[in-house]
């Protein structure tokens, strides 16, 4: 089964119009895709559905083979742990070091620091932040903050990584570096969805494209 399956999914906010209409698609295991479309087309909304932070107003979503409409609320955090998300505005905690930000998801679950300290440091080295482990986010550049946010999303080894405009705040060389990181992660087995407006980024890889327009989705394999 695919990681995620959408069938005739529609979404409206309150009494407003449907902002997503009749979405039917899969996110296969180990796949790599861009999600694109004009501003207001529904990309953020679709990411929220994929992250299980929003329920569809109609249709079926299966996530890791579970119908999300029937999952008890208290089980959602456990499923969400299998999905990493990188927000456009990073959402790093400013009073915590890079290391502490990345370790936070494990710490809040009450894990013993001895069991994860080396993993956090290895991951920070992998994203190129080996020299920035003990600094606070305000000291980091845009590209470094982005990589810290990526590391935090990866610390639980998710099966799916969602990234919202990950190259929105970095220069072209850093954008290429981030893209190589996502591709490498994908080679290691993680499915990746990158929401982006950045045509030059998409031109660098021959990847699946999910294009939203006026709430409808077209997929180019
Ligand atoms: P994109 O990320 O592609 O710019 P969004 O998913 O943010 O698109 O928005 C799609 C549509 O849904 C837009 O018309 C937007 O104004 C509307 N929308 C997004 N979030 C909300 C919300 N919380 N309440 C009401 N309307 C919303
Ligand atoms: P971006 O396109 O940068 O991802 P959005 O414009 O989609 O950001 O939305 C920013 C925030 O504003 C989101 O939390 C979204 O839910 C909210 N929002 C967007 N459009 C509306 C709307 N029409 N009504 C209410 N909230 C909205």
How do residues 60-97 score in pLDDT, each as one tens digit? 999 999 999 999 999 998 899 999 999 988 999 999 99
Report the distance separating Cα 191 and Cα 82, nearest Å: 11
Whole-number pLDDT of residue 200: 86
Cα(13) to centroid of ligand 2, in Å?
Answer: 11
Q: By three-state DSSP, how is residue 96 classified?
A: coil
Can you give the length of the chain in residues?
221
What is the C-alpha R_g of the chain? Answer: 17
Only one residue has tokens 């080295």, namely: 125
Enclosing H/E stretch for 140: none
Is the Cβ atom of 97 under 6 angstroms away from ligand 2?
A: no
pLDDT above 90 for 170: no
Q: Which atom of ligand 1 is nearest to the CA of 48?
A: 6
Distance 41 CA to ligand 1 centre (A): 8
pLDDT of 6 higher than 90: yes
Per-residue pLDDT, 117: 96
Cα-to-centroid distance, 12 and ligand 1 (Å): 9
* Residue 207: C-alpha distances to residues 55, 115, 131, 163, 186 (Å): 28, 36, 32, 15, 12
For ligand 1, mutation pick of 45, 46, 87, 89 (most atoms within 8 Å of CB): 45
Ligand 2 binding pocket mutation candidate from 13, 41, 44, 87 (most atoms within 8 A of CB): 44
pLDDT at 64: 95
* Contact yes or no for 172/200 (Cβ under 8 A): yes
User: For residue 88, what pLDDT is reported?
Assistant: 87
Please give the structure tokens belonging to residue 80.
């969400």
ipTM exceeding the 0.85 mark: no
Q: What is the mean pLDDT of residues 32-49?
A: 94
Which atom of ligand 1 is closest in space to residue 37's alpha carbon? Answer: 3
45 CB near ligand 2 (under 6 Å)? no
Stretch 148-168: mean pLDDT? 93
Q: What sign results for the dihedral spanned by CA atoms 183, 185, 147, 105? A: positive
Task: Find, among 38, 32, 86, the residue nearest to 209 by Cα.
Answer: 32
pLDDT band at 187 (very low <50, low <70, confident <90, very high): very high
Q: Whose CA is nearest to atom 11 of ligand 2?
A: 44
pLDDT for res 149 = 94
Average pLDDT over residues 176-181: 90
Please check the confidence at residue 174 and state whether its pLDDT lies above 90.
no
Tell me the percentage of the chain whose pLDDT exceeds 90: 83
Can you give the pTM of this predicted structure?
Answer: 0.87
For all residues of the chain together, what is the average pLDDT? 94
* Residue 70 exposure: Cα atoms within 13 Å on the Cβ side: 6
Neighbours of 4 (CB within 10 A): 24
State if residue 44 touches ligand 2 by the CB under 6 angstroms criterion. Answer: yes
Q: CB pairs under 8 A, 24+ apart, for 182-189?
A: 182/32, 183/32, 185/154, 185/161, 186/30, 186/31, 186/32, 189/30
pLDDT score at 168:
84
What integer is the mean pLDDT of 163-172? 88
Task: Report angle CA 89, 93, 94 to the nearest 5 degrees.
Answer: 100
């Amino acid at each position: 089964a695919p990681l995620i399956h959408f069938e005739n999914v529609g979404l409206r906010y309150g009494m407003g119009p449907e902002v997503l209409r009749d979405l039917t698609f899969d996110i296969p295991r180990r796949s790599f895709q861009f999600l694109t479309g004009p501003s207001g087309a529904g990309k953020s909304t679709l990411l929220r559905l994929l992250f299980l932070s929003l329920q569809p107003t109609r249709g079926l979503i299966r996530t890791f083979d579970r119908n999300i409409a029937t999952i008890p609320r208290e089980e959602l955090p456990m499923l969400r742990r299998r999905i990493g998300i990188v927000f456009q505005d990073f959402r790093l905690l400013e009073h915590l070091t890079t290391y502490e930000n990345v370790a936070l998801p494990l710490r809040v679950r009450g894990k013993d620091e001895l069991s994860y300290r080396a993993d956090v440091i290895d991951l920070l080295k992998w994203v190129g932040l080996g020299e920035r482990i003990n600094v606070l986010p305000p000291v980091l550049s845009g590209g470094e903050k982005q990589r810290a946010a990526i590391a935090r999303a990866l610390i639980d080894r998710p099966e799916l990584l969602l990234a919202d405009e990950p190259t929105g705040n970095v220069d072209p060389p850093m954008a290429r570096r981030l893209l190589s990181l996502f591709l490498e992660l994908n080679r290691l087995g993680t499915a990746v969805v990158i929401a982006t407006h950045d045509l030059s980024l998409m031109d660098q890889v021959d990847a699946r494209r999910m294009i939203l327009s006026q709430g409808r989705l077209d997929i180019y394999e």
